[in-house]
Amino acid sequence: MRNATNALVLIVEDHDDTAQLYAEYLTGLGYRAHTAGSVGAALQILMTVVFDAVVIDHGLPDADGLTLARQICARPNQRQPALIALTGRTQDEPSDDTALFDAYLVKPCLPDELAKVLSRTIADHGGPG
């Protein structure tokens, strides 16, 4: 796995224990991980912090993850983070969000699997910014 030191990652997950597990694991690998439990909370954080990657749960309490991904992609004059979907759907199920996300992880997802995908997608986006 590539060195992820200082890569900024936002984990948007409404299940607090899962969000904390991912954040603690990624922090131990050198990421700077932040969490948000809703689309609204994520958008507030995204107004002030530029992330290298955003991990988005598909089912959030105030909107779905696809809505958040669209809003992130629509921001003018902003560096686009890598977007990783956490979903209960299998990859072969039809979806209209194919072009928005750089990677998909099917729940349950182990933290080391998330870390591998983050490392790859951040590198594909030019590395930590």
- Map out the domains of the chain as residue ranges: 9-98
Token reading at 23: 């954040």
pLDDT digits (tens, 9 = 90+) for 21-70: 999 999 999 999 999 999 999 999 999 999 999 999 998 999 989 999 99
Provide the whole-model pTM.
0.91
Confidence grade of residue 4 (pLDDT, cut at 50, 70, 90): low
- Give dist(CA 90, CA 107) in Å, integer: 9
User: Which of helix, strand or coil describes residue 10?
Assistant: strand
Q: What's the pLDDT score for residue 9?
A: 97
Asked if 12 and 42 touch (Cβ cutoff 8 Å), the reply is yes
Asked if 68 and 43 touch (Cβ cutoff 8 Å), the reply is yes
Non-local (6+) Cβ contacts of 110 within 8 A are: none
Name which of 14, 20, 83, 12 is nearest 42 in CA terms: 12
One of 2.40.50.180, 3.40.50.740, 3.40.50.620, 3.40.50.2300 is the CATH number of 9-98, namely 3.40.50.2300
